[in-house]
Amino acid sequence: MGEIMVKVRLINEFDEALWEQGRLPKKRIRSVEVNALVDTGAVMMLLPRDLVKRLGLRKIDTVIVGLADDRRIEMDKAGTLSLTIAGRTMKCDCLVGPPGCEPLIGQLVIEELDLIADPAKRTLTPRPESPFSATLKLKALASKPLGLAGPVSRV
């Protein structure tokens, strides 16, 4: 078993929105491609402070984070960014780590993109049951079932 490293495309979502509105040239959208460690024990994505600054992400909040050694620390949360892994894209925020730390991909990203971590093969790939787009899980409300039974078709 080994570490899973993946290539991740990160884009400043605010820059992208400005470009879509015609208020920013496409070449000025701040983006970067990095290798990140898949951490199935982590909840959120973590990026080093220097990379957050390079992407121009804004501080959104300060949160308390529980570490693997049971310590609790205060960390900044920044966003919003668009990230792409294995051809699947989502919008998310990130925790801000110390400069130069290793970028981490947490469980929220893995779940929303419907990816499977295989430590033996050192891969993070789309779930075989949903090879073309992510399928998200949702439990119906106990009193009102959603009525989605069977295959989903596009209109």
Question: Which pLDDT does position 155 carry in this prediction?
Answer: 46
Task: Indicate if the pLDDT at residue 153 is higher than 70.
Answer: no
Report if residue 88 sits inside a domain.
yes
Report if residue 48 sits inside a domain.
yes
Tell me the per-residue pLDDT of 16-27, one tens digit each, with 9 for 90 and over.
Answer: 999 999 999 999
Task: Indicate if the pLDDT at residue 89 is higher than 50.
Answer: yes
CA distance linking residue 105 with residue 88, whole number of Å: 14
By three-state DSSP, how is residue 119 classified? Answer: coil
**Who has greater pLDDT, 151 or 60?**
60
Report if residue 75 sits inside a domain.
yes
Report if residue 40 sits inside a domain.
yes
Question: Which pLDDT does position 146 carry in this prediction?
Answer: 58
Question: What CATH number does residue 63 fall under?
Answer: 2.40.70.10
Position 130 confidence tier, pLDDT thresholds 50, 70, 90: confident
- 108-115 long-range Cβ contacts below 8 angstroms, 24+ apart: 108/43, 108/44, 108/45, 109/45, 109/83, 109/85, 110/38, 110/40, 111/136, 111/137, 112/136, 113/85, 113/86, 113/88, 114/88, 115/85, 115/86, 115/88
CA distance linking residue 133 with residue 44, whole number of Å: 21
Q: Which residue range forms the structural domain that includes residue 87?
A: 5-126
CA distance linking residue 152 with residue 148, whole number of Å: 8
Total number of domains in the chain: 1
Mean pLDDT of the chain: 89
Report if residue 140 sits inside a domain.
no
Q: Which of 5-9, 69-73, 87-91, 147-151 has the lowest mean pLDDT?
A: 147-151
Position 32 confidence tier, pLDDT thresholds 50, 70, 90: very high
Tell me the per-residue pLDDT of 102-129, one tens digit each, with 9 for 90 and over.
Answer: 999 999 999 999 999 998 899 999 887 8
